[in-house]
A = this chain, B = another copy of it.
């Protein structure tokens, strides 16, 4: 017997915790499954020391909601998990409620109500796990990526962390990094699925495959063009740089340095390239970069940063810790009743929220304003943060990924100057409950 090949269905319905289904069964039996309910997806706090977070995964979450169907293969997999009555109910499942959320690329702060799902309990509870998975992962990556692109300034960041994370997480990471300002990715599936520009040239193995570094460089330049990026640290960097310019001429696109003291090496290589007349040849550095290393290299003659491990692992914070809580549900009289658990260290705020980003007269964010009920009328300085994503089960929040990327740049530019510091600190703006 070998591992099962089951689960090749494109349904997302099994990317779910067992207890969502058993809760459904119990609620169906008790007659409470149809109660109108409001769930909220939110962070209790930012990762320690972070000034802001970045919302990502919205587009993927909408895809996941749409594909959340219980086809025959999926239902078969649930035999033994729930009873026949529940399986029958699931066969007809299709989310028919409403979802509002922060738009992709926007910033978030402690308690920001990132997603609000309103439907029956049964319909909404089932989405808990997959929504949390998508948002917790993608936003962790985007939050780290945004700090990196902020530190990099005008210099491009290239996402190349696929090999350090789960193969599908890698695709989502490339997408999230792009939202947060990365210019390109090494990941080909992200190119194919989401149109993220892909880039890449060669590894040490390519040099080692050939009898000499010269043969390797000639092979690469000949096939990929003079504007290729040569990896120059397999043997001796100065010799490789000399060889690269000899072979490709001053039109050589770039050299990549992947080891050693990058700041020192970049200076040496820049001097050498300039002396050889290759003044337009770029220097790309890679090798365990994070936002701190990028900031440290700001004064070095570096033209681009390739970031891998630290990007795809969220630079120390691989998950956001978002939770999905019932905040209101239909009471006995048919009206929505705010609800909240009272657990010692995990209390939540009941009620259906609104959220605004308060800005001062110069357009600089001052506070994350959250309240229960209807938002006060926009006075022009307060920017409403919740947009419709799903209406009566129909996805209405899809947008080109480039829009999320532009939104992120704008939302980040609106934040106070304190976010420029990579040092740990308080959230850039306070969260105010009104």
Contacts and interface: CB of A to CB of B under 8 A. Distances in A.
Q: Which of A16, A17, A329 has the largest number of chain B CB atoms within 10 A?
A: A17
Given A201-B22, A233-B343, A343-B259, A194 B326 contact: no
A345 B259 contact: yes
Contacts of A18: 185-188, 191, 198-200
Interface in A1-45: 1-8, 10, 12, 14-23, 25-30, 32, 35, 37, 39
A259 B165 CA distance: 30
Contact of A26 (B1, B170, B185, B202): B202
Interface stretch (A127-135, A369-377, A413-421): A127-135
A252 to B, nearest CB: 15
Interface in A183-210: 185-189, 191-195, 198-210
State the copy count for this chain: 2
A222 interface: yes
Interface string A134-146: 1011100000000
A15 B309 contact: no
Nearest to A11: B189
A400 B1 contact: yes
Contacts of A92: none
A319 interface: yes
A15 B171 contact: yes
A261 B5 CA distance: 42
A333 to B, nearest CB: 11
A313 interface: yes
A91 interface: no
A3 B223 contact: no
A94 interface: no
Given A128-B163, A136-B163, A26 B224 contact: yes
Given A169-B137, A209-B121, A204 B326 contact: yes
A166 B162 contact: no
B205 A325 contact: yes
How big is chain A's contact interface, by range?
35 or more
A99 to B, nearest CB: 16
Nearest to A217: B26
Interface string A252-266: 000000111100000
Contacts of A321: 164, 309
Given A3-B63, A195-B4, A398-B2, A165 B202 contact: no
Contacts of A218: 30
A268 interface: no
A234 to B, nearest CB: 5
A81 interface: yes
Nearest to A319: B164
Interface in A320-345: 321, 324-326, 329, 331-332, 339-345
B313 A219 contact: no
Q: Which of A4, A63, A209 has the largest number of chain B CB atoms within 10 A?
A: A209
Q: Which of A21, A169, A312 has the largest number of chain B CB atoms within 10 A?
A: A169
Contacts of A194: 3-4
B205 A125 contact: yes
A77 B188 contact: yes
26 contacts: A3-B193, A3-B195, A17-B160, A17-B186, A18-B186, A19-B200, A19-B201, A22-B202, A26-B223, A30-B219, A37-B209, A125-B206, A128-B163, A128-B203, A132-B163, A163-B324, A168-B169, A169-B169, A207-B341, A208-B326, A208-B339, A234-B341, A235-B342, A258-B346, A259-B345, A313-B318
Interface of A: 1-8, 10, 12, 14-23, 25-30, 32, 35, 37, 39, 59, 63-64, 74, 77-78, 81, 83, 121, 125, 128-130, 132-134, 136-138, 160, 162-172, 185-189, 191-195, 198-211, 215, 218-220, 222-224, 233-236, 258-261, 287, 309, 312-314, 318-319, 321, 324-326, 329, 331-332, 339-346, 398-401
Q: Which 3 residue pairs spanning A and B have beta carbons closest together?
A: A19-B200, A18-B200, A30-B219
